[in-house]
Structure 1
Amino acid sequence: MPLPSSTPSAQGVDALGILALVDALESGGHDPHSLLVARHGRVIARGWWAPYAPERVQLVYSLSKSFTATAVGLLVDEGRLSLDQPVLDLLPPGDLAEGVEVPDRYRRLTLGHCLTMATGHDAEGWGPDVLRAAHEPTGDDDHVDPVLAAILATPQEHEPGSAWAYNQVATYLAAGAVRGVTGSSVLSLLRERVLPLLDPSGGADVVWHRTATGRELGFSGIHVGTDAILGLAQLYLDHGQWDGSPLLSPEWVDTATTSTGLPNRETDPNPDWREGYGGSFWMARHGYRGDGAYGQYAIVLPEQDMAIAITSETLDMQALLDLVWDHLLPAVGQADEVGDELADAALEERLDMLTVPTPSSSGPGPEAARWVRAEDSTLPEAYAAMSLAPGGAAYEVVLDCHDTQVRLDVGDGEWVFSTFAVGGVELPVMSSGGWDAEGCFSADLRLVETPHTLRLRTRTDGTVHLGWREVPLYGAEPLDLAVHGSALPRQD
């Protein structure tokens, strides 16, 4: 069942502090997409910035690791997996091709080492050769995993358990252990046992990026709703209990959320990244968290008995956390016991009206026009031109890309839905735009199942800048963000 709702003041939180956090997220340039806050197991703030919405899933990058770890925890609690087992022994039969040499350190690498990033690497092991193996179909038997062979081709620099490095290889192997034990996938296990509880309305819509041979990345790629993110945080806050019944053991929660003590990022300029790492959860100056690139957060605050979920598109993830510490934490315990109805009502009204900046016309312009790609565009060169054509919405943008034309409806001061579709690959898009007084047309294309925004900006010289608000980790090609019809993102 979903978490029950309450007012902030009934749970001892000053709603003005949450309002201040909302203001700071917007004014700080963090492009917030959603914010959910729970205290004492009750949701006290729940809002999405339009066109983002509760029924949509969103790519949460490395927050995927915490979901993968939860699947591992279910199997550890049942005795089907042990953190002391060599992880290669747990992979599905046939993943390793005959004749592939296995370095001794990889033979001694355990599942526990993988979950805690204590693989023995000095740095990221998901390098160009591994990425290439993951992205390119081999034409061979899909039972063999070319990614595994590429991983094993570069042994660790240190003995497993003796050195820490944030490393996608670690969680990819942990996801493989789940596949090996269940005969299915991480997502199948979560859909069966976890997601329907955390988000009863949206668990079936969760999807995950896979390699070219159909294996989940594990370390990234899950597209999940904000309710499920909040539910994950609440599940760990409640020591594995959900609605009064055990889902995970308290022992597993302690294992996953306690720092290993290995040095990690000691010189990192961001203080919340120097606090240690557990079993696919980061420690923090306050509580602990799962997180993903561009500001996707599942924050757990045991001292305040709070769970927080945030999705956004920001590069300064430390600054976003600072806003939570600066505005939300001081509000805890400050509300009048009988409640501050005015502050609660003001927060509720504000959360109901959230929207990201919505482009609109400030001047006239023609129904039809055409521009060629500007040289400084950050989309790939396959995106050659843009034109406007009369359409059902305020505008119809036509992108010449990949030897075809993609037509997208664009509202003027309102978000309009369309599908970015090329060769069977599809991305949901919400778009708004308009003309300015200088005769230039601009539009924002929100790829609403990802954190990312495409920005189209025409110029008076007849060119159009085709770019990103923030270039995705998967690369500049928008289609690599798609799950439906796609093979694999290019990088993480």
Structure 2
Amino acid sequence: MALRLLKITLVTLIVFLIAAAIWIGTAGKDLFYTATGSISHSLCASAFLSRLDPDRTFTEEQLPLMRSIGGAIHYEVDHARHEVRTSVFGEFAARAVYREGLGCLLVHGDEAVPEAAGFKPAPIASSYPANLVEPADPAIRRALDRAFAEPDPAHPRLTKAVVVLHDGQLIAERYAQGYGVDTPIWGHSLSKSVTSALIGILVRQGRLRLNQPAPIAAWCSPADPHHAVTIDQLLRMDSGLPFDETDGAISPMTRMLFLERDMAGYAARMPLAHPPGSAWGYSNLGYVLLSRIVRDAAGGSAVDAERFVRRELFAPLGMRSAVVETDTTGTPIGSGSVYASARDFARFGQLYLDDGVVDGRRILPEGWVDYSRSQTLDTGYGAGFWTNLVNSSRVPVWNAPWGMPRLPKDMYYARGALGQYVVIVPSERLVVVRMGISLDYGTGVDDLVAAIIDALHHRPART
């Protein structure tokens, strides 16, 4: 009986090991490469772009999502080579390399690093004071206190920065330990709003039209169903491309970001899930395709694209810490890889509050701001920004609210994963930026903005 039980146990173990080996060689392989790619990129940007402690970033941002394999993860930050290498179980290695002026690049295998030297960008002047601006209003100080508090330690907010602009003036800011006024912070999908602005600049220059078919080489044939997709539909996420950001570890978004060297090429091959213009679906794929259009218009390389973005957007706004990372083909990852300080993102919000004009210079086309916050189909999304126009339904797949019902109806906002927000309230002449690493979606940003609005209404009039 004991021998029979032993045989059954051994057979079961062998079957399990064979199944595990097959899984690791197929689906598991992609999963592990996604994990090592995510860690390498995140820690590379932390160490060499943001100048933060990569060990702290790993603990706060990456490890909570990978605890099941935490003991098998090994990473090495090489300060001499400006790169990070990560492996799981000693395998599935991924490498991210820092390039000056271009941020970090996820390199596949041991291939050469394109444009490895990067470039040295010209400094951008800032109109804001060098020192920290403390809020003068006690009510706003209390609002910031609450924003940085941790009411539920089991689900930390990890707020890293808050910046408040009112009537175009910087009236309050606060930063977590290790962060400061010039710390570039990962904007995640705040990047999409920046990409929307870059498309707007090309429209202003007469190089693009919203209703034209998207100039994607792979879609040039009129027989291709993608050929009908317009610039407007890519911006509005009703192009027909699938909803690509789901809860699964492997999705079209994660595959594009961590497993594909030519992200726009991958996005262009994705079949349409709906006829163009008929349905809304959150689309990182679409915004990488828009980024390819920007790259091509700028000259075709990563340095060309970065110079275009700095010249046309970052420099006029004084966004002196901002960088857009690219893939190995030089395409900006405009779906989610803009790094900028909280002050920089506040300047970006102010551009929209001022109808696309800065210091008397028109950056965005006339009417672009209203276009960006106008409703797409029956959703709470505009064209690169979320709106506060729909509160009766929820975002499909995510089951999250479209807007923030407590705030004024004219409010619209840029939003990124882990709690990145640029909230614009025209009726209050207000911009509020909140940055953090909030894995559980409990940022309290609506409470923060509501408290600031309440404080502004009750403060003494200026004399």
2:307 paired residue among 175, 184, 188: 188
Seen in structure 2, the aligned counterparts of structure 1 residues 129 and 73 have a Cα distance that, compared at 3 Å, is closer
Helix, strand or coil: the match of 2:190?
helix
Once residues 283 and 452 of structure 2 are traced to their aligned partners in structure 1, the CA distance between those partners, rounded to angstroms, is: 32
Q: Name the structure 2 match of 1:432.
A: none
Matches within 5 A, 1:397-476: none
Q: Name the structure 2 match of 1:170.
A: 286
The letter of the residue matching 2:210 is L
Matches within 5 A, 1:45-444: 45-87=172-214, 90-91=215-216, 96=218, 104-124=224-244, 128=251, 132=255, 135=258, 145=262, 147-184=263-300, 186-199=305-318, 202-203=320-321, 206-263=322-379, 266-268=393-395, 270-273=400-403, 285=409, 287-317=411-441, 319-338=443-462
C-alpha displacement at 1:33, in angstroms?
Answer: 1.2
Greater strand share, 1 or 2? 1
Helix, strand or coil: the match of 2:336?
coil
The letter of the residue matching 1:43 is L
Contact 1:62–1:292 under 8 Å retained in 2? yes
C-alpha displacement at 1:241, in angstroms?
Answer: 1.3
Q: Name the structure 2 match of 1:24.
A: 146
Give deviations 1:272-320, integer Å, cap 9, x for gaps: 4488xxxxxxx98551111111111111110100111221111354652
Contact 1:109–1:160 under 8 Å retained in 2? yes
Contact 1:33–1:312 under 8 Å retained in 2? yes
Number of paired residues? 308
The letter of the residue matching 2:452 is L
The letter of the residue matching 1:239 is D
Once residues 456 and 274 of structure 2 are traced to their aligned partners in structure 1, the CA distance between those partners, rounded to angstroms, is: 45
C-alpha displacement at 1:19, in angstroms?
Answer: 1.5
Contact 1:103–1:155 under 8 Å retained in 2? no
Seen in structure 2, the aligned counterparts of structure 1 residues 135 and 325 have a Cα distance that, compared at 3 Å, is closer
C-alpha displacement at 1:149, in angstroms?
Answer: 4.5
Seen in structure 2, the aligned counterparts of structure 1 residues 251 and 119 have a Cα distance that, compared at 3 Å, is same
Once residues 123 and 166 of structure 1 are traced to their aligned partners in structure 2, the CA distance between those partners, rounded to angstroms, is: 5
Once residues 3 and 317 of structure 1 are traced to their aligned partners in structure 2, the CA distance between those partners, rounded to angstroms, is: 33
The unaligned stretches of length 5 or more in structure 2 are 1-124, 130-134, 382-392
C-alpha displacement at 1:152, in angstroms?
Answer: 4.1
Seen in structure 2, the aligned counterparts of structure 1 residues 103 and 187 have a Cα distance that, compared at 3 Å, is farther
TM-score by length of 2: 0.60
Helix, strand or coil: the match of 2:172?
strand
Helix, strand or coil: the match of 1:332?
helix
Contact 1:4–1:41 under 8 Å retained in 2? no
C-alpha displacement at 1:244, in angstroms?
Answer: 2.6
Greater helix share, 1 or 2? 2
C-alpha displacement at 1:157, in angstroms?
Answer: 2.2
Once residues 379 and 362 of structure 2 are traced to their aligned partners in structure 1, the CA distance between those partners, rounded to angstroms, is: 33
Helix, strand or coil: the match of 1:34?
strand
Once residues 366 and 221 of structure 2 are traced to their aligned partners in structure 1, the CA distance between those partners, rounded to angstroms, is: 39
Seen in structure 2, the aligned counterparts of structure 1 residues 239 and 217 have a Cα distance that, compared at 3 Å, is same
Q: Name the structure 2 match of 1:35.
A: 162
The letter of the residue matching 2:370 is D
Moved more, 110-119 or 17-26: 17-26
Seen in structure 2, the aligned counterparts of structure 1 residues 318 and 133 have a Cα distance that, compared at 3 Å, is closer
Contact 2:414–2:422 under 8 Å retained in 1? yes
Give deviations 1:439-470, integer Å, cap 9, x for gaps: xxxxxxxxxxxxxxxxxxxxxxxxxxxxxxxx
Once residues 239 and 434 of structure 2 are traced to their aligned partners in structure 1, the CA distance between those partners, rounded to angstroms, is: 30
Contact 2:299–2:305 under 8 Å retained in 1? no
Contact 2:237–2:280 under 8 Å retained in 1? yes
Once residues 216 and 56 of structure 1 are traced to their aligned partners in structure 2, the CA distance between those partners, rounded to angstroms, is: 21
The letter of the residue matching 1:326 is A
Give deviations 1:230-279, integer Å, cap 9, x for gaps: 0000000000111232222331111112222333693345434488xxxx
Contact 1:96–1:148 under 8 Å retained in 2? no
Fraction of identical pairs, as percent: 23
Contact 1:287–1:299 under 8 Å retained in 2? yes
Seen in structure 2, the aligned counterparts of structure 1 residues 243 and 229 have a Cα distance that, compared at 3 Å, is same
Once residues 149 and 176 of structure 1 are traced to their aligned partners in structure 2, the CA distance between those partners, rounded to angstroms, is: 9
The unaligned stretches of length 5 or more in structure 1 are 6-12, 139-144, 276-282, 340-492
Contact 1:137–1:212 under 8 Å retained in 2? no
TM-score by length of 1: 0.56
The letter of the residue matching 1:75 is L
Once residues 285 and 358 of structure 2 are traced to their aligned partners in structure 1, the CA distance between those partners, rounded to angstroms, is: 31
Once residues 106 and 157 of structure 1 are traced to their aligned partners in structure 2, the CA distance between those partners, rounded to angstroms, is: 11
Once residues 189 and 277 of structure 2 are traced to their aligned partners in structure 1, the CA distance between those partners, rounded to angstroms, is: 22
Give deviations 1:114-151, integer Å, cap 9, x for gaps: 1111112452179757755664577xxxxxx4x44533
What root-mean-square deviation, in Å, do the aligned CA atoms of Structure 1 and Structure 2 show? Answer: 3.1
The letter of the residue matching 2:445 is L
